[in-house]
């Protein structure tokens, strides 16, 4: 097993010069800051708000917006850690590289990388089920068949090329953000709202309320799964040291604002019992709208959920590729297509696993497992940064989080993990 270099510049130099040394095709550095932000927003928004508002409301009731805010606070500490580490080590399979640098244990890095890839595949499976549910409103065929079609088509796009894949994802992300703005406008302007008032969503007053909010925050946390995926395309970013911190923070801020606004709008417009029972919750806002409005939003929702599948596929395949490239997995998984410069074998393997999971498990179980896997990874990544800081390893030209930030990242992630297990 190879070790991750202590110097980010050394690692970056190795990545850029590897093609000359080995003669093998490598990943292409083509992504800019706007593309990476849209990449992060695409997987974050598509993976959460379009699918899980209903199940979050089932746990927290009218206080679901606070569950999203709690989840955002947990994520914020770890986001700062990722901002520093992604500039120290701008490579595929980023979390594995961070943990190997911090703990000097190749086997632990392999486990972390596999956990990250697993979270992406499980997350994509959950979102694919949501996409199939939205598509079912247009075509009266089996939801399982529609889910399988979504996975296969997104796998083909992921094989096409990183620039093409992320450009398609960026266009779709703009569409899905427009869809959330549409939901907020329609929900807040409904002439006969069936839900609660805005004030009622923000004023929990009893201990029981906070128990439900804490439980729901685990599901809400799933909605933020995505910002960390940006670390796994750092090897394909033109200027990772300048781009990665900005992209991570903008993704988290914009996603939080959109989530809270959308959740409040849905709770105002739709009764909680109705909302809690739906796997396509945002469409309920338009129940009394005209057919054209319903169809327009239905198409946006399909596009949004499909986007989440595509981006998680890209992330998971890059993690598998990165592990194989550093000799932690079989070398065949590091095979890159000379024409598309995408990890062809890793992408096919990831697509097959997502297809299997999406047809075998329910969406709630998939979402909860994803959250728990990601929380374990967050704990290990924060611990790795703590060890690097305590060892005095400092790299110039990178973002530097105060030591208290990764410590709080460990504490908050562990706390949310305990809530999810209890």
pLDDT in the model for residue 354: 92
pLDDT per position as a tens digit, 24-35: 666 667 678 888
Q: Is the pLDDT assigned to residue 180 strictly greater than 70? A: yes
Q: Is the pLDDT assigned to residue 272 strictly greater than 60? A: yes
Indicate the pLDDT class of residue 48, thresholds 50, 70 and 90.
Answer: low
Ranked by mean pLDDT, the top range of 66-75, 156-165, 167-176 is 66-75
- Angle subtended by helix axes 291-325 and 106-136, to nearest 10: 160
Radius of gyration of the chain (CA): 21
Global pTM reads 0.75
pLDDT in the model for residue 2: 40
Q: Is the pLDDT assigned to residue 13 strictly greater than 60? A: no
Cα distances from 389 to residues 39, 407, 418, in angstroms, run 30, 11, 26
| pLDDT over 90, % of the chain | 17
Kindly state the average pLDDT of the residues 8-35. Answer: 56
pLDDT per position as a tens digit, 341-400: 788 999 999 999 999 888 877 666 666 677 788 889 999 999 999 999 998 766 665 678
């Amino acid at each position: 097993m190879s070790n991750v270099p202590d110097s980010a510049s050394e690692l970056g130099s190795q990545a850029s010069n590897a093609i000359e040394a080995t003669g093998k095709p490598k990943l292409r550095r083509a992504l800019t800051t706007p593309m990476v932000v849209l990449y992060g927003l695409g997987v974050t928004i598509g993976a959460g708000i379009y699918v899980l508002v209903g199940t979050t409301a089932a746990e927290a009731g009218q206080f679901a917006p606070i569950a999203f805010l709690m989840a955002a606070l947990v994520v914020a500490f770890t986001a700062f850690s990722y901002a520093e580490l992604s500039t120290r080590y701008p490579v595929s399979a980023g979390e594995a590289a961070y943990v190997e640098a911090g703990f000097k244990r190749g086997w632990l890095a392999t486990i972390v990388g596999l956990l990250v890839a697993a979270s992406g595949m499980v997350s994509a499976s959950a979102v694919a089920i949501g996409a199939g549910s939205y598509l079912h409103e247009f075509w009266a065929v089996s939801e399982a068949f529609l889910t399988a079609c979504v996975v296969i088509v997104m796998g083909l796009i992921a094989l096409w090329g990183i620039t093409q894949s992320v450009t398609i994802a960026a266009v779709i992300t703009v569409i899905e953000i427009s869809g959330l703005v549409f939901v907020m406008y329609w929900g807040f302007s409904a002439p006969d709202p069936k839900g609660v008032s805005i004030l009622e969503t923000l004023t929990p007053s009893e201990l029981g309320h906070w128990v439900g909010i804490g439980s729901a925050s685990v599901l809400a946390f799933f909605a933020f799964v995505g910002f960390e995926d940006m670390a796994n395309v750092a090897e394909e970013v033109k200027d990772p040291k300048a781009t990665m911190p900005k992209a991570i923070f903008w993704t988290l801020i914009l996603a939080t604002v959109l989530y809270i606004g959308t959740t409040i709008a849905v709770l105002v417009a739709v009764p909680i019992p109705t909302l809690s029972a739906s796997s396509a919750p945002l469409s309920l806002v338009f129940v009394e709208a005209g057919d054209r409005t319903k169809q327009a939003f239905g198409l946006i929702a399909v596009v949004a959920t499909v986007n989440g599948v595509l981006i998680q596929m890209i992330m998971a395949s890059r993690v598998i590729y990165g592990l194989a490239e550093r000799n932690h997995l079989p070398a065949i998984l590091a095979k890159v297509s000379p024409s598309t410069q995408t990890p062809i074998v890793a992408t096919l393997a990831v697509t097959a696993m997502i297809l299997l999971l999406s047809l075998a498990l329910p969406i709630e179980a998939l979402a909860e497992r994803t959250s728990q896997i990601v929380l374990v990874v967050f704990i290990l990544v924060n611990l790795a940064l703590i060890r690097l800081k305590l060892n005095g390893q400092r790299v110039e030209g990178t973002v530097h989080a105060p030591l208290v930030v990764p410590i709080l990242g460990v504490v908050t992630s562990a706390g949310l993990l305990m809530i999810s297990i209890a």
